[in-house]
Amino acid sequence: MKIKICGMKYNTAEVATLQPDYLGFIFYDKSPRNFEGVIPELPKSIKKVGVFVDETVDVIIQKIKKFELDAIQLHGNESPDYCKELRKHCHAELDSASQYEIIKVFSIKDEFNFSQLKPYEHVVDYFLFDTKGKLPGGNGYTFNWDVLKDYPSTKPYFLSGGIGLEEMDNVLSLLQREESKYCHAIDINSKFEIKPGLKAIEKLEEFITNLSFRT
């Protein structure tokens, strides 16, 4: 199972020593984790994800170039046409040999209409399911994972939303069930922080070790 650590801001190099599969950098000025610094040199095995909320395609392309991003996470109300346009611009304006992954976020609380995923099936690479809250991400609590029993797609997805060490047993239990068949990665953030953007290394290491050892 792959790991994405999101909301990177302060101790990126230290977090990178844990060898997660993805590190997420939020480019949204209303977020306390809004990233404005310099990303240190990272191992090639770690994919850099830029997180955007209803941003223009031009700005996203600029950020991909500036920070050498590998993936784009769309956390707003981006339409299927927008996703299609973004992919077209990535191919036209960036290194055509590179594969820029597009991750579309959907927020869930107690129920979810999965039919809204269908128009996105052919224009994104992954879905990400997060908890519906006041902010687009980083709200610190989980949604009802039983909703995933009705997941109708074969599109791989990221599981996000308030996952911490206290959810370890629930995560492991979910990963034994049929609805996790297409779960690509576990996305963690606020439950592993000393303050927004500053990650608690020992907690992260414990979570990653447990997940790796028991799955």
Taking the C-alpha atoms of residue 173 and residue 60, their distance in angstroms, rounded to an integer, is: 37
**pLDDT at residue 96 in the model:** 62
SS3 101: strand
How far apart, in whole angstroms, are the C-alpha atoms of residue 127 and residue 145?
A: 15
**42, 65 contact by CB (below 8 A):** no
- Of 50, 35, 43, the closest CA to residue 16 belongs to 43
pLDDT given at position 111: 86
Which pLDDT value is given to residue 12? 97
Give me the domains of the chain, ranges plus CATH numbers. 2-214 (3.20.20.70)
Find tokens 């191992």 and name the residue: 43
- The whole-number pLDDT of residue 197 equals 95
Cα separation, 105 vs 202, whole angstroms: 28
pLDDT at position 142: 83
List, run by run, the mean pLDDT of 10-residue segments along the chain (215 residues): 96 96 96 94 96 96 95 96 94 76 92 94 96 60 88 95 91 92 95 96 95 73
